[in-house]
Amino acid sequence: MDDDGDLEGGEATTKNVFSNYFCSVKKGSSHPGDIAEAASLGAVKLPYTSYPLWDALPEDLVGSGKLSCLQLEGILHACTMHQKLLPGTGERAGFFIGDGAGVGKGRQIAGTIIDNYVRGRRKHVWVSISTDLHLDATRDFRDLGCHINIINNCQSLDKETRTFGLSKDYQEGVLFMTYSTLTSCSKGRSRIEQVIDWVGGASWSGVLVFDECHKAKNFAKDTGGTKMAAAVIELQQRLPQARVLYCSATGVSEVGNMAYMSRMGLWGPGTAFQDFEAFLDSMKKRGVSFMELLAMEMKAEGKYVARGLSFKDAEFMEVEAPLEKGQAAIYDDAVKLWKQLRRRLEYAEPMMPPVSSSTTAPSSAAGGGVSAGTAGTAAGGASSGGSSSKDVWRAYWAVQQRFFKLLCVSMKVLLVVSEAKEALAKGQSVVIGLQSTGEAAADAMNLSPGEVLPAFVSPTKEMLHRFVHVHFPTVVHHVEDGNPDLDGGDSSVAGSREVPELVQMKEELHEAIEAMQLPPNFLDHIIDELGGPAQVAEMTGRKGRVIRGSRGKLTYELRARPETADMDSLNVRERDAFMSGRKLVAIISDAASTGISLHASHTVKNQRRRIHMTVELPWSADKAIQQLGRTHRSNQVTGPIYKLISTRVGGEKRFAAAVARRLQSMGALTRGDRRAASGVDLSASNMDTPLGRKSLRRMYDAIVLESESLPPGVKMEDVYCDHPDAELFKCDDVSLTARHIARLHVQLREYCDLMGVGLSTNGKSKDTVVDDSSSRGRKSGGDGES
């Protein structure tokens, strides 16, 4: 019996995802804006606390409304939790502020530090993601009437260090630093050592803030994971008495990313789990429902708050960008080229070494490119040694995934421009959300400022050129053991020779790539269509761009001088231009998706309603939430209209489904309800569900058994035509033996995996299969079949 329906149906039993938040603190002003929390968390109350917060905070700070009752509540429970020590380790307990946009995490951090400063703890550390946010941190303190010195990063300590030590003004205050600085070194000494020395050693008990703490995810015990995660964990271990404050609306996108939260008391001596690995294993076995219970338990114990601005004033729309006839042809041509490239690599594979003789980073071809002028240098390559077959195929699939992802984004430009112009005509402002910029292609071409170009740079074309240039092998190196070592390097090396047939293949691939009509850089294209840099505020991390001059010529220019204060503050100036109304369109990338406010605030001149178009979904759910939060904050005149732009390409649908699944997981962890991650209902996009998997199994069975229930328009010969083992499917008696059926299952599962990950099937067939799978997934809910 199949109980998948029960698993899915459980979500429908409670329709109220959010409920109005009722604050337990009566002092302070009411919070500006409608605040809500997940209904499941609303069923749990924060514990009573007798912490004497009002003894430390000045009366005018509480009574004047500079801190709302909601913010005072967060400060009160953070200070209460910091009074406790974890059992077994003796480390001081931490507190997690998981509030979403509009609650004021910065004010709560400042208030917590002020309470400790008044009580005699004069040194504190605030770790965040960008030096630009130092201005926001300073503003939060100044708005509260506090003039504590906010030291801007460790570099300021370097400058103020004299022969006899630090200057007096830098011996106390708040050290504001970034995660990247925390992982770096200066003069042969790690920044972690510098921070520990500045605070006074392991006995220090000031406030240690990890703002936007989701940057510390991806820790792995065996490999160490990211440097940021390892540095955050090390700093907590070496400062056991620090009052740790975790702050992020997206602190955990998945339970596996919680390793840095060692002060929450969820694992370790005196708990139910010996270590994080045991905690993680248990959580994964129990699933999303247990994560929801975990969030509720953390709130009940006073470790955690997760309030957020209500989405009742916001609107959500899913807009589908149809593939024009020319775009479908470009997509299909790209698919054919990738298949051709795969066949050529398979031909050369027997001559590749099993293990690379030198390390070749597969990602080197992922975002870069080579200019068309070097495209024909077929024998050239970046590798100094031979690339193994494993390295080449790893790079192949990684680049293919990025290629089709960027191609899908480029194909949305026409719709995005049309929607933006319509919004501007209605008196609205537009925010366009991207993740990447395609700058790597321009970097690889070594463009100079002022250089005139015949057309916009195509990131997808340069990406293909780069992959072939670096990874397609043409040279055999004869090594001592007698095995040939094939790579794309220099044939002038002693004991090596070019393979003429492979050289010709490489030249033909470059020629085929150059002949393709691939779309231009989507970011440059959007800016150009919407009036150029004078009309569009760009908040990204790229150094240069291609613009259209007054005479219509396309020219490469620097956005700001590299390695200067101009580059650091450029995004801030662009934000001010948008908020003041001098520019009515803003484009943000991953680099500007955290900590920046673009909402229709009562305090700015540009109070037009925001139309926020998400054109490119990020890889991680937490980045998706961060970007959506830029236009929906407290004290706003109107809520935004969110438009999630997608194409009908099945691979992108699958990608969106993966993000939707992570959003649900994150909602369960950080909001206590899997549906409450962002206020956006993406459940329809999540195909990775019990019903979705059942639907996929049925499709496999239909194909293997040549059932009449194949999707409309799908023919067996079309499915098999490009399969490496197409001959296998032509056997008359293939369905008669279990052995053949089992083999077909394996082959088709692999084939479907490649279609989903690589996006590389033609646009028409992908639409048909995805539409049918989606409808079958919905229909499966009521039939009860297994």
Supply the DSSP symbol for 727. G
Amino acid symbol at 663? L
What is the bridge-based pairing of β-strands 484-487 and 475-478? antiparallel
Ranges 118-132, 201-215, 460-474, 592-606: which has the least confidence: 592-606
Run of H or E including 210: strand 207-211
Give strand ranges (E) for 21-73.
35-38
Give CA–CA dist 356/353, Å, rounded. Answer: 6
Q: For residue 498, which of 377, 604, 415 has the smallest C-alpha distance?
A: 377
Assign 629 a pLDDT band (cuts: 50, 70, 90).
Answer: confident
Ranges 256-265, 373-382, 462-471, 769-778: which has the least confidence: 373-382
- The residue among 132 and 111 whose pLDDT is bigger is 111
The 10s digit of each residue's pLDDT in 229-255 is: 899 999 999 999 999 999 988 766 577
Run of H or E including 69: helix 69-81
Give CA–CA dist 381/399, Å, rounded. Answer: 17
pLDDT at residue 364, as a whole number: 41
**Contact between 466 and 382 (Cβ < 8 Å):** no
| Confidence check: pLDDT of 385 > 50 | no
pLDDT at residue 298, as a whole number: 92
pLDDT at residue 373, as a whole number: 37
| Confidence check: pLDDT of 311 > 90 | no
Give strand ranges (E) for 457-519.
475-478, 484-487, 496-498
The 10s digit of each residue's pLDDT in 449-489 is: 888 999 999 999 999 999 999 988 887 755 554 455 555 55
- Three-state secondary structure readout of 502-567: HHHHHHHHHHHHHHCCCCCCHHHHHHHHCCCCCCEEEECCCCEEEEECCCCCEEEEECCCCCCHHH
Which two three-digit tokens encode residue 583?
């520019």
Q: How many CB atoms lie within 10 A of CB 549?
A: 11
pLDDT at residue 31, as a whole number: 86
pLDDT at residue 510, as a whole number: 95
Burial of 291 (0-12, 13-18, 19+ CB in 10 A): buried
Q: Is this prediction's pTM over 0.75?
A: no
Among all chains, which residue has been given the structure tokens 């680099």? 591
Which residues are CB-contacts of 418 (< 8 A; sequence separation ≥ 6)? none
pLDDT at residue 1, as a whole number: 39
Distances (CA, A) of 184 to 130, 152, 208, 246, 259: 14, 16, 18, 21, 21
Domain boundaries along the sequence of the chain: 17-309, 323-592, 689-782
Which residues are CB-contacts of 410 (< 8 A; sequence separation ≥ 6)? 460, 519, 520, 522, 525
**Contact between 668 and 288 (Cβ < 8 Å):** yes
**Contact between 773 and 695 (Cβ < 8 Å):** yes
Give CA–CA dist 676/678, Å, rounded. Answer: 6
Per-chain mean pLDDT for the chain: 78
pLDDT at residue 667, as a whole number: 47
Run of H or E including 25: none
Assign 422 a pLDDT band (cuts: 50, 70, 90).
Answer: very high
User: Rounded to the nearest 5 degrees, what angle is found at the Cα of 764, between the Cα atoms of 761 and 766?
Assistant: 50
The 10s digit of each residue's pLDDT in 339-368 is: 999 999 988 887 766 554 444 343 444 444
What is the bridge-based pairing of β-strands 554-558 and 585-588? unpaired
Backbone torsions φ then ψ of 92, nearest 5 degrees: -75, 140
> Alpha helix locations (H) across 411-517?
413-425, 439-444, 459-471, 500-515
Give CA–CA dist 202/193, Å, rounded. Answer: 11
- Give the SS3 label for residue 262: helix
Most confident among 445-459, 692-706, 755-769 (mean pLDDT): 445-459
The 10s digit of each residue's pLDDT in 638-681 is: 989 988 888 888 777 777 766 666 555 544 444 444 444 445 55
Assign 117 a pLDDT band (cuts: 50, 70, 90).
Answer: very high
| Confidence check: pLDDT of 198 > 80 | yes
Run of H or E including 228: helix 227-238
Q: What percent of the chain has pLDDT over 90?
A: 39
**Contact between 337 and 512 (Cβ < 8 Å):** yes
- The residue among 626 and 467 whose pLDDT is bigger is 467
- The residue among 490 and 499 whose pLDDT is bigger is 499
> Alpha helix locations (H) across 239-308?
276-286, 288-300
The 10s digit of each residue's pLDDT in 572-584 is: 899 999 999 999 9
Strand partners, 250: none
Give CA–CA dist 452/152, Å, rounded. Answer: 40
pLDDT at residue 742, as a whole number: 56
Q: How many CB atoms lie within 10 A of CB 529?
A: 16
The 10s digit of each residue's pLDDT in 57-88 is: 988 888 888 999 999 999 999 999 999 999 98
Supply the DSSP symbol for 68. B
CATH class of 17-309: alpha beta
pLDDT at residue 443, as a whole number: 76
Which two three-digit tokens encode residue 686?
């999540």
Q: How many CB atoms lie within 10 A of CB 519?
A: 19
Mean pLDDT of 201-214: 94
Q: For residue 435, which of 626, 229, 598 has the smallest C-alpha distance?
A: 626
Backbone torsions φ then ψ of 37, nearest 5 degrees: -145, 165
Assign 780 a pLDDT band (cuts: 50, 70, 90).
Answer: very low
Burial of 727 (0-12, 13-18, 19+ CB in 10 A): exposed
Ranges 38-52, 100-114, 491-505, 762-776: which has the least confidence: 762-776
| Confidence check: pLDDT of 501 > 70 | yes
Assign 769 a pLDDT band (cuts: 50, 70, 90).
Answer: very low
pLDDT at residue 325, as a whole number: 83
pLDDT at residue 497, as a whole number: 72
